[in-house]
Structure 1
Amino acid sequence: MMKNTVFIGLIAATAIALAGGTAFARGDRGGAPIDFETLDTNGDGQITLEEMQARGAARIASADTDSDGFLSLEELEAAASERAKTSASQMLERLDANADGKLSAEELEKPGRADRRFNRADADGDGAITRAEFDAAVAKMREHRDGRKGSK
């Protein structure tokens, strides 16, 4: 029975993480990265599976607003929505160069980013992206993304 509870908890934690970002990379509300000291709850210089499970259980408990031991669709959506709001607020704060409370296309696009992406996709450097170059660029991006997922 205990194994089932832990397994269900891990599934729920995974669902929350998928809905709102990676637990390791972000804080509980999509904020700053979680540091080692936060995860090492007993301060012994090591993070154990039990400490990770306790963190997951705490995240689940905070999302389980009716305290029934389960996460309903509404609770998952609320948790994801809260993380999305926090993330959007942080994004606005970080990128709003003229402090007008809005993001323009220029503020969203880092200088030279579109040029770099285009040039990477234009493998032969002829100033145009063929279907083959496009497909190769998409495959490379997927490979890169999947490699990052596998390393976490």
Structure 2
Amino acid sequence: MNHFSLHPRLAADSHLITHLPLCELRLMDDARYPWLILIPRRPAISEVFELSEHDQQQMWREATRLGQALKQQYQGDKVNIATLGNMVAQLHLHVILRHQDDPAWPGPVWGQGQAEVYDDARLEQISEELLALVDDLTLGD
């Protein structure tokens, strides 16, 4: 039987925040942006269409509600939601809050400058903030 396992690059580049009904919620290790990653806990999935219809709806529900909460919490200008998978084939969905004064605005965040990794204190703070956001959301059916 196949079991979900996280791609090593996703594990190395992000921090686990919590498990949502479908996805593992991770924080990208780049303090320049509030940047979340949702990874459906399903084995051997690389494309959205490989998920069941129910799981597709659930992933979208998790992404949009998190995006809305991020925008309100951190007063962002735009929420970017994207799947790429060119570097890591395992299906993962980026939810990135953008500000007009961020280092990459108005372009994409990928390949822009050097990531600023979270120090321990800031990582603990934002992790607690994100857990509180998730606790306030209705993410299930």
TM-score above 0.5: no
Higher relative contact order (CA 8 A, sep 6+): 2
Q: Select the structure that is richer in helix.
A: 1
Q: Structure 1-normalised TM-score?
A: 0.27
